[in-house]
Structure 1
Amino acid sequence: MGTIKRQDVELLAPAGDWDCMRAAVANGADAVFFGVEKFNARARANNFLTDELPEVMAFLHSYGVKGFLTFNILVFENELEEAKRLIEACVDAGVDAVIVQDLGLVKLIRELSPDFPIHGSTQMTITSPEAVEFTKPFDIERVVLGRENNLKQIKTIGEQAKLPMEVFVHGALCVSYSGQCLTSEMWGGRSANRGECAQACRLPYDLMVDGEQKLMGDITYLLSPKDLAAVELVPELIEAGVMSFKIEGRLKSPEYVANVVSKYRTAIDKYFDGDRSAPSKEDMRELQQSFSRGFTHGFLGGTNNKQLVEGTFPKSRGVYLGRVEKILRDAIICRVEAPIKRGDGIVFDAGDPTKKEEGGRIYDLRRQGTKLEGEAQEGTILELVPGRNDVDLRRVHVGDRIWKTNDPALDRRLRATFETEKPYRVFPLSVKVRGSLGQPLHTWWTDVQKGTTVEVFSELELELAQKRPMDQALLEEQLGRLGGTVYQLESLDAELYGDLILPMRELNRMRRVAVEQLAGERPKPPVYVKREVSVYADVRTGAAADSALQQPAAAMDSPLAQPRKADRAEGATAGAKLTVLCRSLQQLEAAVRSEEVGMVYADFEFIKQFPAAMALARSAGKPIALATPRIHMPGENGYHANILKLQPDAVLIRNTGALYYYLRAHAAKPNEPFPQLIGDFSLNIANHKAADLFVDAGCNLITPSYDLNVQQMFDLLRNSDTSKMEVVIHQHLPMFHTEHCVYCTFLSEGTDFTNCGRPCEDRRVSLQDRIGMSHPVRVDEGCRNTVYNAIEQSGAEYVRQFADLGVASFRIEFLEETAEKVDEVIELYSNALAGRITGTQVWRSLKAINQLGVTRGQLVK
C-alpha cells in the first residue's frame, strides 16, 4: 500500500435532521449519511423528505461535503417501483452514493444507471475478502465491513480485496451481525432488516443453564453491549487501510453529532500531523457525556466477551462520578471522579434500571459545608445538593453509583458550532491578476478545493496612478475581503505593467462577481447516466407460476382473502418433496429412515460430526447437504475445504463469502463432480431480482428471506422461477446471530475461545425472557451464538398454494427435538403434502405458531 494521504481518509457522520447535518458539516465531517422518509434502516429517525434531496445535496456540496443516502433495507416485490423512483430522484439530485443492503436493489440500480455509485451496507454482512469479491461484478465502489471484524482482519480484507473499506468507529453496537437479526420483527413486529429495530437485545433476560436458572446478581442485560469508541485506535485503523470512519447515530442529537465528529476530526488530523498521542481524559469524558453505555473498542482489538457486555444496564449513563459515601438531610457526600458544577444533571444508580431511578440537577456544591462557585475537579470530596423536587434522598443508598448525565455548558458550546450566521467552513482561493494601461483589469479566480476557475474583467479601463498605484499588498487587501463567504485568499499572483489604478468600488464589484460565480459552481451535482427501465421486464417464472399469473387480479392480490379452499385436505401435491434439516445425529438417524424425505441437511455445532452424518445418509441411500456457518471470516476457508473433501450432494450456503469460495472452487475444476449449491434464508432474498441474481451467480436452489410475510412470499413466488425455490415451512426461527458468546461470558473465566474451557460442549444455555419463554442459544464452529425462538412455527397452511405456484421443495428444520418428535413432525407434514390432512391440523397438532417467516401478514384471520 502506498503512502496514505489526508485526503484519502473520510470522516463520515450521521444526520437524522437538518440540525444534525449542520452540526456534522460545521465540525469537520467529509461526508454525511442520511435517510429519507422511506427505505432506510432508521425508520424512527426524523429523516428527510425525497423532495428535499436537491436542497440537501446543494447544501452539502456547497461545503465540499459528500452526501450518501441510506437505502439499507430489504425491498419487497410490491415496493420495487417505488424503490426505482427513489433511486431516480437520487440520480437527479446528485447524491454521491446510495448505501444498499438488498442485492436485488443493486441489480435494479445497475439496470437504471451503470455509473451511479453504490456502497455495500454493513447489512450485507461483508466480513471476508471473498464477500467483497462477490460484489465486484456489480461495480460496488465501497463496502461497509461487519462490526465484528478486527484490525488484523480489516487489513487482510483490504490487501486481498482491494476495495475501499468503511468501518464503524463510534456509537451503539448491535449484538447481532447486521442483516442477520430477526428478533425485532419476530417479537415486536418491527424488522431490523426493514429499519424498525425494536432493540430486543437491550431487554433483561435470565440465564438458564441445563434448564435451571443461574443466579447472576444484578447482571440481567445479557445481550446488551457497551458502546463502540475507537478514537484511540485512529492511527491503527488508518494503517489497516480504513478509508472511511463511520460514526453511528441517526437517532442522536445534533450536540452528539457535533461532539463526536469534532473529536474524530482532531484525531485524524493529529495523525497526519505526525502526532500519535492518545485523546485527552477530558476529550473521552466529553464523548461519554454525549452518549455512553460504557465504552469499548468493540471487536476491533479482537474478541473479548467480558469487556463487550457488562450486563448491568441497557441505556446511556454518561460520565461516572463516584459512589454515595454518606447521605445528609439535603445532600450526599461523594469523592468525585470527574469535574462537576452547578446545573449538571446526575442520576443515582442502585443497580436495577427497571425501577425508577432518582435523578435531577445539582443546585449547589459544598465542601465541608462551604458553598463552592465554579467547577470542582476530580478527586474532591464534595457535598452534592440536588433539587428537592428532583430527588427523594430517602430512596438513595450509600454505595449507589452516581452518573453525570448532562452538562449544559458542554451542550451550549457544541450548539454554538452550528447555530451561527458565519459559514461553517472556508476554502482556499487562488487569484491571478494581469493589467496594462488603457486595458480592463483581467482576473482569474480558482476554487482550489473544487478545481473550478472563473474569469472576471473590470468594466473600467486601468488608468495611470497619480498617487498610490496598485501593488501586491493593496490587491491582497481588497480582493481578500472575503468575510462572510466560504472563501479565504490563499495566494495572489499579480503582474501589472506600469503604475496603475482602478477605483476601489470596481475591485470590490469584481470580487463579489467572482465569489458569486464560484459559489454557484460548488453545489452543482455530479451527472450520472440514467436509463429508462421497466422493473418487471425481467420476470422469469416456471410453468406452474405462469398459469398462476393468468389468474384474475383480485385473486392474485389476496390469495388468502377467499374461503379456505387452498387449505383443503383432498388431492396430493404433485412432485413436492420434503427436506429435513437436523442439528444432531439422533435427529438425522430418524430423518434418513423416512421414505417421505427427499434430502437431509446436517447443520451441526461441530464439524467433526460431519463424517458420521455422511456415513448415515450414504448407508440409507439419502442425498445429504452439509451446512456452512452463517458467517465467513478471513482465514476460515479450511472449514469449506473440509466440506468439499467429504463430497456431499449439496452445500447449504449462508453468506456471500462462502458462496464465492464454492463458485471459485467449481470454476477451478469445472469437469469434476461438484455438490449442488443451495442459498439459505440468510442471503436475504426478498424480491425476484435478488432471486435471479443468486441463481445467475450459480445457486441451484434458493431459500426466500424470513422477512417475508405470506402475501410478500406470494408476490415473490409469482415473479420468480419457483423450480429454483425451497421454502422453509417448519422451524425455530433464528433470532440473533452474534459474535458475542454467552457461554464464554457467563459460564467461564475466559475472554474468548482460546481460554474459555468450551462450556458449550457439555452445557445447554437458553435465555428466559420476561414472560417466561426460554430461547435456546446454540454455538457454531466459529464460537458464534445463535439465539432461537422458544416456540417453533409452521407455514403448513400455505403449502398447497406454494405448490400450486410451482414450489417443489419444502424444508422442515429441527433444533432440540428428540428422534420420536422428528418422526411425528415428518409424518404430519407428509400427510399435509399428500392432502390427507389440512395445514391447520398440522400446526394445531404441534402447538406451533401459525405463521410463515417473521410476520403472518394482514390477510390471515
Structure 2
Amino acid sequence: MNKLELLSPAKDIECGIAAINCGADAVYVGAPKFGARAAVGNSIDDIAKLVIYAHKFWAKVYVTVNTIIYEDELEEVQQLIHQLYEIGTDAIIIQDMGILGMDLPPIPLFASTQTHNYSVDKIKFLEQTGIQRIILARELSLEQIKEIRKHTTVDLEFFIHGALCVCFSGQCYFSQATTERSANRGECSQPCRMLYSLEDSEGKVIVKDKYLLSLKDLNLSTHLTELIDAGISSFKIEGRLKDISYVKNVTAFYRQKLDALIANDKSLAKSSSGKVYIDFKPDPEKTFNRGYTDYFIEGRKKEIASPDTQKSIGKYLGKVKRIEKDFFEVSTKEILINDDGICYFDSKNVLQGMIISKVNNNRVYSDELGDLKIGTKIYRNRDHQFIKDLSKEISTRKIRAKLELNETKEGMFISANDEDGNQVSILCEFVKEPANNPEQMYKTIEKQMLKSGDSIFEVKDVQINLRQTYFLPVAKLNEFRREVLNQLEAERIKNYPRQSSQIIKSGHKYPGDKLDYHGNVVNSKAEKFYADQGVEVVEEGFEKLSSCKGKIIMTTKYCIKDQLGICPQNMCSQLKVKEPLFLADGKRKYQLIFNCKNCEMSIKL
C-alpha cells in the first residue's frame, strides 16, 4: 500500500490545528529558534499541544531546526532536539550537517530543501547516513525525480504549492550580502522581490524597474498523479508565514484532490485517519498568489516569473467592457460585493488596486477610475465573502467507529472499535428493568449510541446484543457512550505508531572532495562530519567570510535572458545584447553570469 502524505505549513498552533481539521496528514512548524522562518517560532508548550492534537488522528508533527548553526549554539540545539523528542515530535527537519555529529535521541531526521537536494549522488549520500526523508529541490523535473527514485529508497518529499525561492535553496547569499540578514539563518530580506533594471555592458537599460527575480507561485495540482508515479510520497504546501485562511483553503483543496485519486486507486491510501467535512468550496486563486506556474516539472517553460508585481493578484474575473464617468463594468460570472479588493495592470504594467465601496451587479462605482480601458483584465485579490466564510467555518474531522453492546450479569459491556483497529470495552452497570415499549427503547438506544457529539469519532454502526430490551434513561446512555469514546481516544493516543531512527555514524562517500562557502559549514561538528567522509572544507560558510567581494551570491535555474526571449539558444531571438549584463537597484550593480550548458544563471557581487 502506497501511503500518501499531505503536509501543511503552520506558523502557530492555531494554523496547525486548522490544517489537521482540513485534512493534513502532517504539519510542519518552527522550533522556538533555529527555523528557516525566524519570525514564526513556536514555544515547546505549543508544539506539545499540537502534537497531542495531531496524534489523535495519527497525523504527524515535524519541527524545523533548519538553519546553519554557529559554534556557540551547538549545545543549545542538541538540548532543543531532545526536548522536541520528549514531547512526541515525529521528525526534525535539518540543514546543518553538524547536527549529525550530536548526541541525539532516536528521532527521524529529514534533510531540508536547504541542503540543496538536487543530484542523485547527494541524495544517495544523505540516505546512507541515515536521513529518513529527503525534501527535494523545487527545480527538479519529473524525469529527474524518477531518476532519483530509481537509485534510492529513502522517503521523498516535494513542494506542490506556494511561493518559490528563485535561488537553489540553501545556496542564496543575496540577503546576507546586502542587508546582513542571512537566509540560511531564517532572516531573508527577500531581495528577489525588489525592483531592478537590466543593463548591458555599456550601461544601456534593456528593462527598467521590474521585479526581474520575482517568480510566480507554484501550483502542481494537475500533476499529482505524475508525482505519485515518479515516487513522491509527501506532498508539501509552502507557507509558514501565511495566515490561517491560506492554510485552510489550500489544505482543503489538496485534500480533496488526493482523496479523489485515492478513491480511484486501491493501491493508494492516506497516511493518517479520519474523514474531513468542509463547509466551504476551496479555491487556491482566492488566497494569496502571484499567478501560478508549474515551474520546471515538465521542463523549462516561458513566463514562470512575475516581473510586473511581487504582490498577490488573486483570481482573474474578466475584462472591462464598459466605462462611464463614475463606474466601470466587468464581464464576469463572479459576484462582486462591497469590501472586495480588485486590481489590474495599468498602461505601464504597474499593478493598481482598489477596495469596492459600491457595486451593482458587475458595475463597480469609483471616483478614481485611473487609466482603465476597455479590455483591461480585472482580478480580485481580496474576496471579502470568502474570507468571512473561512473565518467562521468549522471544518470537522471524524474517525470511523463501531459500537457493540453485549449483555452481562451486571448490565452490559460496550465495546468500541475504530478504523485503525484500536479497541476498548467498558462495563456499564444498571438495574435491568424491562422496557414498557421495547421497540421504542431499542430505537432510543441505537439513536443515542450513534451520536458522537464533540468527540473525534463518527459512530457508523451499532450492534445491540441484548437478550431483551431494558429501560435506560437517555442521560445514562449518553454517559456510557461518552465514556467508551473517551477511552477509545486515549487508546488511540497510546497506540500511536511513532517511528524512530538513528543516524549511521560510519563513513560514506560524499559526492566531492572539497567544499567552499556553498557547503554552509560554520561549526566544528559540521567540519568534522565532512572530514570523516574525506571532504576538505576549504572555506567557511558565507556568513563567516571576512570579504564577499566577487562571490556568487545566487544561482538559479531561472534565466532572465530566456524569460525575455534573448537566450542565445533561441534562434528566433531578434534582440542582441552586449554582455556582461547587470542588475541595477539604484545603489549598486550585480553582474549576471550565464551557464548555458546547465541552463543556470548566477549573480555575482
Instruction: Please indicate, yes or no, whether the TM-score normalized by the shorter chain is above 0.5.
Output: yes
Cross-structure match for 2:273: none
Shift of 1:530: 11
- State which of 140, 165, 181 in structure 1 corresponds to 2:156: 165
Cross-structure match for 2:22: 27
TM alignment of 1:404-553, pairs within 5 A: 404-418=380-394, 424-436=396-408, 438-449=409-420, 451-460=421-430, 468=438, 475-496=445-466, 498-499=467-468, 501=470, 503-504=472-473, 505-523=475-493
Cross-structure match for 1:776: 592
> Which residue identity does 2:564 align to in structure 1?
F
Cross-structure match for 2:200: 209
- State which of 34, 38, 63 in structure 2 corresponds to 1:39: 34
Q: Which runs of 5+ in 2 are unaligned?
A: 266-279
- State which of 290, 293, 307 in structure 1 corresponds to 2:287: 290
CA RMSD of aligned residues (A): 3.3
1:199-248 per-residue CA deviation (whole Å, 9 max, x = no partner) reads: 1111121112233324336x722111111011111221222221111111
Q: 1:71 aligned to 2:65?
A: yes
Task: Report if the CA contact (8 A) 1:69-1:98 is conserved.
Answer: yes
TM-score, normalisation: structure 1:
0.63
> Which residue identity does 1:487 align to in structure 2?
F
> Which residue identity does 2:179 align to in structure 1?
G
Cross-structure match for 1:595: none
Distance 1:758 1:442 in 2: 83
Shift of 1:506: 4.4
Cross-structure match for 1:176: 167
Task: Report if the CA contact (8 A) 1:228-1:296 is conserved.
Answer: yes
Q: 1:324 to 1:512 in 2, by over 3 A?
A: closer
Shift of 1:739: 0.6
Distance 1:509 1:144 in 2: 47
1:427-478 per-residue CA deviation (whole Å, 9 max, x = no partner) reads: 1113343325x344223222333x4322201223756667628998665333
Distance 1:353 1:17 in 2: 37
TM alignment of 1:287-686, pairs within 5 A: 287-304=284-301, 306-324=302-320, 327-336=323-332, 339-350=335-346, 357-365=352-360, 372=361, 382-386=362-366, 388=367, 392-393=368-369, 401-418=377-394, 424-436=396-408, 438-449=409-420, 451-460=421-430, 468=438, 475-496=445-466, 498-499=467-468, 501=470, 503-504=472-473, 505-523=475-493, 660-661=510-511, 677-686=513-522
1:755-806 per-residue CA deviation (whole Å, 9 max, x = no partner) reads: 78899998422212221424333426312111011xxxxxxxxxxxxxxxxx
1:263-313 per-residue CA deviation (whole Å, 9 max, x = no partner) reads: 1111111112239xxxxxxx9993122011111001112122x22124221
Task: Report if the CA contact (8 A) 2:416-2:484 is conserved.
Answer: yes
Task: Report if the CA contact (8 A) 1:206-1:213 is conserved.
Answer: no
Shift of 1:186: 0.9
Task: Report if the CA contact (8 A) 2:580-2:591 is conserved.
Answer: no
Q: 1:136 to 1:215 in 2, by over 3 A?
A: closer
Distance 1:17 1:520 in 2: 25
Cross-structure match for 2:583: 767
1:20-76 per-residue CA deviation (whole Å, 9 max, x = no partner) reads: 22321221111111113311111223x321232221211222343211111111111
Cross-structure match for 1:535: none
Shift of 1:129: 2.5
Cross-structure match for 2:234: 244
Cross-structure match for 1:80: 74
> Which residue identity does 1:685 align to in structure 2?
V
More contact order relative to length (CA 8 Å, sep ≥ 6):
2
Distance 1:342 1:270 in 2: 35
Shift of 1:190: 1.1
Distance 2:575 2:598 in 1: 14
Shift of 1:154: 1.3
Distance 1:754 1:162 in 2: 39
Q: Which has the higher helix share?
A: 1
Q: 1:51 aligned to 2:42?
A: no
Task: Report if the CA contact (8 A) 2:17-2:53 is conserved.
Answer: no
TM alignment of 1:86-97, pairs within 5 A: 86-97=80-91
Shift of 1:748: 2.2
- The alignment partner of 1:212 has SS state of coil
Q: 1:736 aligned to 2:586?
A: no
Distance 2:239 2:154 in 1: 25
Task: Report if the CA contact (8 A) 1:743-1:759 is conserved.
Answer: no
Q: 1:266 to 1:78 in 2, by over 3 A?
A: same
Task: Report if the CA contact (8 A) 1:32-1:67 is conserved.
Answer: yes
1:413-440 per-residue CA deviation (whole Å, 9 max, x = no partner) reads: 222334x7xxx3111113343325x344
TM-score, normalisation: structure 2:
0.88
- The alignment partner of 2:253 has SS state of helix
- The alignment partner of 1:307 has SS state of coil
Q: 1:492 to 1:307 in 2, by over 3 A?
A: same
Q: 1:774 to 1:705 in 2, by over 3 A?
A: closer
> Which residue identity does 2:299 align to in structure 1?
G
Q: 1:347 to 1:285 in 2, by over 3 A?
A: farther
Distance 2:399 2:572 in 1: 55
Distance 1:172 1:689 in 2: 32
Q: 1:141 aligned to 2:125?
A: no
Shift of 1:397: 6.1
> Which residue identity does 1:213 align to in structure 2?
K
Task: Report if the CA contact (8 A) 2:199-2:206 is conserved.
Answer: no
Task: Report if the CA contact (8 A) 1:91-1:530 is conserved.
Answer: no
Q: 1:342 to 1:521 in 2, by over 3 A?
A: same
Q: 1:746 aligned to 2:564?
A: yes
Cross-structure match for 2:248: 258
Distance 1:755 1:70 in 2: 46
Q: Which one is further off, 761-770 or 161-170?
A: 761-770
> Which residue identity does 1:783 align to in structure 2?
C
Q: 1:243 to 1:528 in 2, by over 3 A?
A: closer
TM alignment of 1:185-224, pairs within 5 A: 185-216=176-207, 220-224=210-214
> Which residue identity does 1:429 align to in structure 2?
A
- The alignment partner of 1:308 has SS state of coil
Task: Report if the CA contact (8 A) 1:167-1:246 is conserved.
Answer: yes
Task: Report if the CA contact (8 A) 2:93-2:110 is conserved.
Answer: yes
Q: Which one is further off, 140-149 or 499-508?
A: 499-508
Shift of 1:337: 7.3
Shift of 1:339: 4.6
- The alignment partner of 1:175 has SS state of coil
Q: 1:263 to 1:694 in 2, by over 3 A?
A: same
Q: Which runs of 5+ in 1 are unaligned?
A: 276-282, 366-371, 373-381, 532-537, 539-655, 663-676, 711-728, 790-861
Task: Report if the CA contact (8 A) 1:29-1:65 is conserved.
Answer: yes
Distance 1:127 1:758 in 2: 34
Distance 2:291 2:441 in 1: 60
Q: 1:272 aligned to 2:262?
A: yes
